[in-house]
Amino acid sequence: MRRCTGATWCIASAQGIALPYMTDAIRPALEPGEWKVRRSGPISLDVVDRIDYIVIEGPGGETVKVTGADEIFALISLANDALPPDDPRKITHGWLARIETIRDMIRDLADSGDETLTPLRRELSTGWDQMAQVLSAILPPVYESSARDE
């Protein structure tokens, strides 16, 4: 069964399980020309003395610079949190759960499948685990009363 809830999301259900899926492709965050100059509107990437800075220009011409891996990662997390809940680009706990499920399936295959494929499957599982850790670090904590995302 397929039920569309908007121009972007549909719900597919099989055997009582409903999973949202996208019907439209997500366009790149930056166009090729923007990547070339590392700028999109009021947001740019500058490099001074081999140090990367995210520069955000305000409407009055004021600028804010963000540098350092921890600060830039926090900016990514807060920018993701600022996306509307139904935006298909928003990283959610549902995404994280899917990635963890795939990781676990690959790990289970490594432990029980063809022994010649075990090293490859363990390497794949490690890659999926790294993705899960990054997504987990971007997302806000889950509180029992929180129903903010899927």
Distance (Å, whole) CA 114 – CA 39: 48
Over residues 12-28, mean pLDDT? 64
Q: At what angle do helices 93-112 and 118-138 cross, to 10 degrees?
A: 160
Summarised one tens digit per residue, pLDDT across range 55-70 is 999 999 999 999 999 9
> pLDDT for 83-130, tens place per residue?
999 999 999 999 999 999 999 999 888 888 788 988 999 999 999 999
Single pTM value for the model: 0.73
Lookup: tokens for 59: 């409407």
